Amino acid sequence: MKRTNEMKRSVVMSLFLASAVIAGLHVGPLKAQDDMLDSADDALSGDALQMEDINLEGKLSPSERLRQRREKLEERNKVMVEKKIEDIRVKQEIALTNKLQDAFGKSLNNINEDKVQTVQAAPVAPVAPQPVVAPAPVVETKIVEVKEEKLPEIKKSKVTPYLGSQSIKGDKIDWESKMNIGVNLETMIMPQVSVALGVGYTTLDVTDTANDFVNNNSQYGSTYNSVFGTGRKMSSSKTSIEANSKYFLTVESKIKPFVGAGLSYNRSNLKYDDAGNGYNYNGINFGNEGFSSTAMGASAKLGAEVDFSESVAFNIDLSFAKTLSSGISSTANTTNNNPDQVRLQNINKSVEESDVTSIQAGLVVRF
């Protein structure tokens, strides 16, 4: 019996030693091994350990307890081994990553060094010295309140009184006016276009030296010449109402040239100045001869306005007029077959068929 117990003790000790050796490889602490051996000694003590009684009462036997302890140690050892292996792999991966980063960094450094060497090897053109530029002066900016100024109102209307001269040239007629005056009322309908309505009055004095009786040696002619001399003096007056339009070539400068055209209504009066001096021949009394007629005319104009100020300017223009229709209406002072009355009618007709040239100058007042 004693020998049997010694054998059991030997087997149990062998198992404990084997477990301790296996556990010592990874568990390590000697204190744990001593605790395990002490527990095993207590479990295997002769007096306390009654194996048959333990099995019979349903408690774990020392061998079962050692087996469970061994399994726990083995499981713990397995976890620790796996952790060790994982730590080794992590270290290897870190080392490999560091090597790759070092290699990549060296490659980038080599590329940058090659670029720097290439740039340094290229020829560099000499740089011209840059002029020294003085710093720009600091300009203080001030906010100035701009007051809105009201633009002057453009004056579109104007009145132009004028004074001028008129020349009448036609078949056997070459007369100059004694007086030529008038006034125009004008308004701008567009920036460069105006319309106007004007009234003019022209007078002239002539001596009828082309009368058939002047050089007549008959009794009639000699008597006529003795009464009237070299010819009878006559006077003519003409009143014109004209509507015209002007086109100004420029309106921005002080000198504003223009061209224009107009239509006129003309009423002419022609008469002898003397009263006939009481001359009577074959029952015909000479004196009170006169003739009036109405005609329509057209004119072309060329001239310019010269500004003195916004309200005052000087106007000068040259016009050429021609009768469009004559004899619209006429009135004879006598109807007694007076030869001088017939003479006046013929002179008036020649005047209406003549070319009329006028030059006029006036003062322009804008309002």
Please report the pLDDT score of residue 326 as a whole number: 80
Q: Using pLDDT thresholds of 50, 70 and 90, give the confidence band for residue 102.
A: confident
Dihedrals phi, psi of 129, to nearest 5 degrees: -65, 135
Q: Taking the C-alpha atoms of 63, 69, 74 and 79 in order, what is their torsion angle to the nearest 10 degrees?
A: 170
pLDDT of residue 143: 63
pLDDT band per the 50, 70, 90 thresholds, residue 136:
low
**At CA 327, angle to CA 325 and CA 333, rounded to 5?**
155
| Each residue's pLDDT tens digit, 325-340 | 887 888 888 766 678 8
**Assigned CATH for 157-366:** 2.40.160.20
**Strand ranges inside the chain, DSSP E:** 157-170, 173-176, 179-190, 193-208, 232-248, 255-272, 280-281, 284-285, 290-307, 312-332, 355-366
CA distance 98 to 89: 14
Confidence class for position 246, pLDDT limits 50, 70, 90: very high
The arithmetic mean of pLDDT across residues 272-286, rounded, is: 79
Binned at pLDDT 50, 70 and 90, residue 209 comes out as confident
Asked if 130 and 156 count as a contact pair (C-beta separation under 8 A), the reply is no
Answer yes or no: are the C-beta atoms of 297 and 321 closer than 8 Å: yes
> Using CA of residue 323, residue 326, residue 328, residue 334, what is the dihedral sign?
positive
Instruction: Give the residue among 185, 189, 191 at the shortest CA–CA distance from 252.
Output: 191
Euclidean distance between CA atoms 315 and 359, whole angstroms:
11
> Among 21-35, 59-73, 307-321, where is mean pLDDT lowest?
21-35
Q: Which amino acid is at 60?
A: L
Please give the single-letter amino acid code of residue 153.
E
Q: What's residue 30's pLDDT?
A: 42
**Contact 297/353 with Cβ under 8 angstroms?**
no
Give residue limits of the domains in the chain.
Answer: 2-104, 157-366
Model confidence over 41-100: pLDDT tens digits?
Answer: 554 444 444 444 444 445 778 888 888 888 888 888 888 888 889 889 888 889 888 888
Rounded CA separation 322/319 (Å): 10
Mean pLDDT of the chain: 78
- 286 contacts 280 by C-beta, under 8 angstroms: yes
Tokens of 106: 């060296």
